[in-house]
Structure 1
Amino acid sequence: MFKLDARGYIAIAEIVIYIPILVTSIPLVFRHGFTRKAGWIFLVVMAIIRIIGGVTHVLSEQNPSNTNLQIIFNIMESSGLSPLLVASVGFLGTVVQYSLENNPLLTRALRLMGVLGTVALILAIVGGIKTGNATTQSDLDSGTNFRKIGAALFGVLYAAVVLTTLFCLQNKGRILHYRRKLLNGITMALPFLFVRVLYAILSAFSPSPRGFDADGEPILVPSSSPLKVFNSTTGSWEVYLCMAVVAEYIVVLIYTTVGLRTPLSKDEVVYAHGSLGYGMQDVQPLTTAEGGCYSRSDEGAGFARPSY
């Protein structure tokens, strides 16, 4: 008989809500660009991760002895935050196009943030694999440590996203019209993204419900730690639903809605016309890899502010 616990039904809900996100995100990638810098491709990756995680979670509950399924959905659970944060970094890169992108410190910061997200993702995956395949307490502790480091890096990356967003808000007058709307979307998403990141950190540092005795036999490990409610597999499903699933989905929904309603390509046309109107004859086409249509070859010149 097909039986599921509360987390199983949550997994089904994630499959249902992320299929439309996947279908919607693919046209956004074609509309706004495939590049990592654009950020939209990570919404597609995010949706795929959540769908795979939901499917393997449901299958795992029907086949409890299949450790491979457990490992897969645990990896999907812990790694799903990375594309969401890296997407935020990509959107910030889009926001500063044609206005603040010649700031060398900002450019280096955005690149470093992208690398940081990738490293955190790798650590989360390695931690999930080592934890799932652990046969000794040492292996289990090693996997847990990888997860903790990865979660800590997610926290650092979130802080960097907040600081970069604040910098953009302080220079909002220099940002092109529709990119300001994207910046507003990022700002709206930050509180919910904070809740999601906080849950990931608390979950990584929550006590493991299993361990190994001196003979290497698996055992259940009781705990009185208040952090146990944040365990992503055995903790409170209500906390998991609110702090992980709902908070994350709100962020994805904000980004998707902004992407659908914001014609970013119009900024490129206005910027090109405005630049020429101010006598800037050094406007050159950007390559597809650079994520736009126009850029100035003279980085020393001031940016013209087009009229809207």
Structure 2
Amino acid sequence: MIQVGIVGGTGYVAGELLRILMLHTGVEIRFVYSHSHAGEKITTVHDDLFPLENMYFTDKVFPDADVVFLCLGHGHSSRFLTENHFSEKTKIIDLSNDFRLKENRQFGNRHFVYGLTEINHQQVQTADSTANPGCFATAIQLALLPLAHDKLLENEIHIHGITGSTGAGKGLSETTHFSWRNNNISVYKAFTHQHLGEIKETLTSYQKEASRYPFHFIPFRGDFSRGIFVTAYTRSALSEKELQEKYRQFYAKSIFTRVTDQNIHLKQVVNTNYCLIHVEKHENMAFITAAIDNLLKGAAGQAVENMNLMCGFPQDTGLKLKAVYY
């Protein structure tokens, strides 16, 4: 058994982490940190986690925990690690964007490995710290990595992605309010989304010349609570059959990314840690669709994947979740 702590325990991602970890056969939840809710029952915030009704938030960390998940807002993880010291043996898994870019991955004596398990499986296994990819970044990278791997990104790339309201976190704003979001759709951060940096770093690590081509990403706010659905297209000389074979080969050993011949939809992946990918060819365009649950494969589930690899558990431990289809 390993002892696990969660910092920033009141958000959606922390709630999903707790849901997974309380059923994980190799984990004991040591502490759930929340400065604003210290002393309160966890179920006062996460009332779906009533099996944890005897567990309380704390404003103290346990520096000897085996694994600590940082579920803090962007820019806060590095500050928290500066102010709170953990044992050298404590493995850190950060879910913010503080350590995702190469220039930020060294933090004191810690080196953060980029935790996209489909490509960094071995590096994660030996890491003392991992930077969990962003939710949109996860879906988009998985949609395009087979092309970059085989040096097939040779033209500009167009991407559209729609995300559920939980992707914006628990903090209330006009665009997350039910009466605004319901029966509505809108574009936000067109061409400037914060996940573009990590996406481009990963793709160009496989294909340097890909940096020469424009990368157009239009994100949408969807009128649903969870899930990400991405479409991407770029010119390709390969046939549909050749493209599909490239994708199948690239993900042949992947546990959680599946390539399917059928058109995909969000209900297939919501409440799971899977990414589904479908590939088509239209005239001279390769057309790729990808779907994930933003709170699981895009956040908490992928973080548990990283923990499993770092701690020697089978990668899918605690993550054998069925989609909520109806």
Task: Please tell me whether Structure 1 or Structure 2 has the larger radius of gyration of its CA atoms.
Answer: 1
TM-score normalized by the length of structure 1? 0.30
